[in-house]
Amino acid sequence: MLRLKHIIMTVCAMVLCCMVSYAQQDKQERFKAIESEKMAYITKELKLTPTEAQKFFPIYNKYNEEMWELKRAKRGAASAPQGANSFSGGKRDVIAFDAKEVDIKKKYRTQFAQVVGPSRASQFFQVVEDFNDLLRSELQNRRNKDRGR
């Protein structure tokens, strides 16, 4: 009886692990699809030529990686930026994170400008914001549709 109980528990644990793995894989695939859509949107809105896009997106990938690291740190999942705790008594200083975000954007605007010129480099940040607004709107529409069923 005890052995049967162990077998059942083992099988349940294996099934649960498979389900979690599948869910994570599905999440990663959706993230990749969204990122592909975002890159297509940026290409269209900034009117990037194939040559410009070839030079632009490696820089964009570095920018995106730095921004994600900063967002994780802001949520507390990683270490805070230097000086982030100086005014808050050990808590996260949101202003320090915002300042770091501005620093990253300034750094990459300069790099983007070398590829697409200063005007489109500055426009890039608005394009990303517009894409995120579209994404949020689409998500809200899907949620409203699901509630209406």
Residue 83's CB: how many other CB atoms inside 10 A?
11
pLDDT at 18 over 80: no
- What mean pLDDT is predicted for residues 12-20? 53
Q: Where are the domains of the chain?
A: 30-148
Asked whether 92 and 74 are in contact (CB, 8 A), the reply is yes
Q: Is 100 exposed, middle or buried (0-12, 13-18, 19+ CB in 10 A)?
A: buried
CA dist., res. 9 & res. 94, Å (int) = 45
CA dist., res. 105 & res. 110, Å (int) = 9
Residue 27 or 47, more confident: 47
Q: Identify the CA nearest to 12 among candidates 1, 22, 23, 4.
A: 4
Share of the chain above pLDDT 90, in %: 60
User: Backbone dihedral region of 91: left (phi > 0), alpha (psi from -120 to 50 degrees) or beta?
Assistant: beta
Give CA separation, 143 vs 27, 94, 139, in Å.
Answer: 17, 30, 6
Q: How confident is the model at residue 78 (pLDDT cuts 50, 70, 90)?
A: very low
Q: How confident is the model at residue 116 (pLDDT cuts 50, 70, 90)?
A: very high
Distance of CA 24 to the CA centre of its chain: 16
